[in-house]
């Protein structure tokens, strides 16, 4: 059941009332070359005659998960320009790195980036008027009511890809019932990750006929040959010592990871932890935690390399998590020992690195279940359990090989969402 436009007017009034707080929140999300006016839809107009595809991802995790789709769109539609938008600066940096890699391909679309406008009605209209996309593609759950309504007003078809709604997100959106029903009425096609996600979108008011279950794009993750070579070089430089990565860690989790590593080194004194915090703004705070732990630490951002006495290698750079995962014997994926909901378990699995995780996996429940079914996931509840699992696996090369093979098998068995997504998007594009 579609909602009513009047609920969006109330939403817009509330946004305007909160504008000072919203602006303060996004003020720090800035990059050179991206004026803050982009937040109000003030982007350069699209060149005359340009055919534009627009893909929006919230942050760095979504950009990374969308990378196979970004690359496929650029290659499938070389006569178009592909414009990526993100809410965060870290997402913008990741988008820029992907665009740079595609720049050298003669048969690929031009790829560029802007910050998405805040969801004020005027900013949304201005952004769409200047961008003039043929198709708007929203990754996962970035359902901004005024942006979707502005697309509908200009006749721009909207697709939601890799559509997911965690139970927690569903409960939040359901409290906004009429507003979300009106927003979803502007979506022409939704590629849901699973039947459970599809059912939640239907419960919010999405037309059942517009929903197709495509599976998760995360399983279509590719392995960059250049990143693989960088991983091999790093692994060779580290020697034969046991190496594990704790990737995408959050506040309150780094302490547990460092405690687990200290326990591991009691029985395996040569073990090296590569610690990669999720957010760049926490790099300095995590470096201080490492110093307080008393374990010898070097920082990747300083160009330092671990020596024989180094216990912790702080991965305080952007866009290199895959390289660091690929250099390790084991990978713990963060956001899972704290109530964040987890991060991409498939990134190390695709590289053939055994995967460990905490219990908080709401954001990756479907991926976690697929890995569990093949016994390709090691789950721990807290620091002591993590230390025990690491010690066991460091000593058991056969089990590490089994976990690695099972993880790769899960990735391969679940590929195909990308092809189904591209088919759905192609139906929305005008001919010619």
Is 62 one of the annotated active-site residues of the chain? Answer: yes
Burial of 432 (0-12, 13-18, 19+ CB in 10 A): exposed
Length of the chain: 432
Residue 355 CA to residue 209 CA, distance in Å, equals 37
Residue 249 CA to residue 410 CA, distance in Å, equals 24
User: 32, 51, 54, 28: which is closest to 41 by C-alpha?
Assistant: 54
CB 244 within 8 A of CB 273: yes
Task: Please tell me which residue in 29, 62, 71, 347 is annotated as part of the active site.
Answer: 62
Runs of H (alpha helix) within 104-238: 121-131, 145-153, 167-174, 177-184, 195-204, 225-238
Q: Which residues pair with 355 in a beta bridge?
A: 331, 377
Residue 181 CA to residue 107 CA, distance in Å, equals 40
CB 118 within 8 A of CB 39: yes
Inter-CA distances, 404 with 158, 249, 294, 345, 374, Å:
38, 22, 32, 12, 11
Q: Which residues contact 296 (CB under 8 A, 6 or more apart)?
A: 309, 310, 311, 312
Structure-token pair, residue 195: 């039947």
Catalytic residues: 62
């Amino acid at each position: 059941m579609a909602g009513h436009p009047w609920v969006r007017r109330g939403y817009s009034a509330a946004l305007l009332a909160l504008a000072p707080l919203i602006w303060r929140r996004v003020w720090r999300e800035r990059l050179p070359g991206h004026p803050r006016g982009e937040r109000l839809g003030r982007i350069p107009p699209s060149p005359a005659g340009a055919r534009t595809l627009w893909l929006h991802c919230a942050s760095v995790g979504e950009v990374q998960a969308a990378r196979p789709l970004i690359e496929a769109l650029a290659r499938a539609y070389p006569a178009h320009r592909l414009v990526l938008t993100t809410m965060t600066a870290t997402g913008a940096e990741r988008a820029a790195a992907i665009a740079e890699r595609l720049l050298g391909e003669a048969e690929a679309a031009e790829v560029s980036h802007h910050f998405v406008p805040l969801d004020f009605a005027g900013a949304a209209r201005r952004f769409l008027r200047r961008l003039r996309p043929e198709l708007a593609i929203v990754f996962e759950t970035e359902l901004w009511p005024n942006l979707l309504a502005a697309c509908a007003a200009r006749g721009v078809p909207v697709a939601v890809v890799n559509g997911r709604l965690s139970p927690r997100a569903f409960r939040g959106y359901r409290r906004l019932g009429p507003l979300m029903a009106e927003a979803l009425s502007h979506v022409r096609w939704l590629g849901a990750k699973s039947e459970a996600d599809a059912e939640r979108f239907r419960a919010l008011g999405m037309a059942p006929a517009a929903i197709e279950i495509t599976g998760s794009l995360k399983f279509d993750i590719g392995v960059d040959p250049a990143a693989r070579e960088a991983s091999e070089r790093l692994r060779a430089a580290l020697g034969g010592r046991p190496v594990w990565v704790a990737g995408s860690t959050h506040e309150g989790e780094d302490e547990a990871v460092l405690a687990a590593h200290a326990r591991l080194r009691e029985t395996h004194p040569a073990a090296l932890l590569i610690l990669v915090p999720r957010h760049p703004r926490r790099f300095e705070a995590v470096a201080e935690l490492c110093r307080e732990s008393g374990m010898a630490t070097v920082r990747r951002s300083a160009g330092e390399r671990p020596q024989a006495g180094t216990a912790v290698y702080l991965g305080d750079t952007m866009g290199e998590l895959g390289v660091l995962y690929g250099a390790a014997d084991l990978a713990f994926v963060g956001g899972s020992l704290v109530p964040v909901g987890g991060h991409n378990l498939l990134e190390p699995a695709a590289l053939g690195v055994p995967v460990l995780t905490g219990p908080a996996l709401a954001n990756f429940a479907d991926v976690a279940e697929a890995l569990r079914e093949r016994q390709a996931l090691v789950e721990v509840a807290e620091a002591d359990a993590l230390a025990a699992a690491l010690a066991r696996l460091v000593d058991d090369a056969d089990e590490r090989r089994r976990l690695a093979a099972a993880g790769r098998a899960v990735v391969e068995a679940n590929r195909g969402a990308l092809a189904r997504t591209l088919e759905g998007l192609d139906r929305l594009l005008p001919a010619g």
